[in-house]
């Protein structure tokens, strides 16, 4: 009779995500994963595959969670500009409150792995497209309501917003003054005028 898995897979994946997010892929060993997840090496391999498969699943879980939150916020806010401002300021506040100053797991994975790993690069390009598409929908809503000029190049603006969004998260890791970061958000919002 096969042994039943005696651990919560969702909780184990959450713990793995946090470990990879804190340390990065290369600095996380299989032993670190075994110790953090509190499961045997065999159970880890049987359930998740190897370290790389677990990393990919953890990264996808992170992306799905945060993308859904972004989408819900931008969809629920009647004002496109206010929604984007709330997204950027909320992201900065969360980053500033993080005592470990981890930044964004997606950005961290991009800087650590995308140059040398085609699978990660492809996943990050797909994420970029999805976020830019979400920003584009929001900007179109802003044009429809008259908040955003009809002559604005929305695709280019969505790409700029993506760059700002990721840049803010990198800067937040440096622990600058809140006032400085919020000033940058104000500058980013000025491209919508």
Could you read off the pLDDT of 125-155 as tens digits, one per residue? 999 999 999 999 999 999 999 999 999 999 9
How far are the Cα atoms of 26, 66, 107, 168 from residue 129, in angstroms, in the given order?
Answer: 26, 15, 14, 18
What are the pLDDT digits (tens) for 152-191? 999 999 999 999 999 988 888 887 788 888 899 999 999 9
Q: Where are the domains of the chain?
A: 59-190
All residues at 6 or more sequence positions from 93 whose CB lies less than 8 Å from its CB, including other chains: none
Does the CA dihedral 176-180-186-190 come out positive or negative?
negative
pLDDT at site 129 = 98
- pLDDT tens sequence across 65-112: 999 999 999 999 999 999 999 999 999 888 888 888 899 999 999 999
Task: At 13, list the tokens.
Answer: 């994946």
Residue 1 in this model has a pLDDT that exceeds 80? no
CATH of the structural domain 59-190, one choice from 1.20.1260.10, 3.40.50.720, 3.30.479.30, 1.10.357.10: 1.10.357.10
The pLDDT of residue 4: 47
Three-state secondary structure readout of the chain: CCCCCCCCHHHHHHHHHHHHHHHCCCCCCHHHHHHHHCCCHHHHHHHHCCHHHHHHHHHHHHHHHHHHHHHHHHHHCCCHHHHHHHHHHHHHHHHHHCCCCCCCHHHHHHHHHCCCCHHHHHHHHHHHHHHHHHHHHHHHHHHHCCCCCCCCCHHHHHHHHHHHHHHHHHHHCCCCCHHHHHHHHHHHHHCCC
Q: Do 17 and 28 contact (CB within 8 A), yes or no?
A: no
Q: pLDDT tens-digit profile of 3-48?
A: 545 678 999 999 999 999 999 999 999 999 999 999 999 999 999 9
Q: Are 70 and 135 in contact (CB under 8 A)?
A: no
pLDDT at 178: 82
């Amino acid at each position: 009779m096969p042994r039943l898995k005696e651990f919560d897979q969702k909780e184990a994946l959450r713990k793995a995500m946090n470990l990879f997010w804190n340390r990065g892929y290369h600095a996380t060993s299989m032993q670190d994963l075994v110790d953090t997840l509190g499961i045997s090496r065999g159970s880890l391999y049987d359930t998740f595959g190897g370290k790389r498969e677990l990393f990919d699943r953890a990264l996808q879980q992170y992306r799905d969670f945060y993308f859904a939150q972004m989408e819900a916020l931008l969809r629920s806010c009647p004002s496109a500009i206010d929604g984007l401002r709330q997204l950027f300021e909320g992201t900065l506040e969360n980053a500033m409150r993080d005592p470990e100053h981890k930044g964004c797991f997606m950005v961290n994975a991009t800087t650590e792995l995308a140059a040398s790993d085609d699978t990660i690069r492809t996943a990050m390009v797909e994420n970029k497209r999805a976020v830019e598409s979400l920003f584009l929908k929001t900007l179109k809503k802003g044009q429809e309501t008259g908040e955003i000029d009809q002559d604005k190049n929305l695709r280019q603006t969505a790409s700029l917003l993506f760059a700002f969004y990721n840049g803010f998260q990198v800067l937040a890791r440096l622990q600058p003054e809140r006032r400085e970061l919020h000033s940058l958000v104000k500058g980013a919002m000025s491209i919508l005028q």
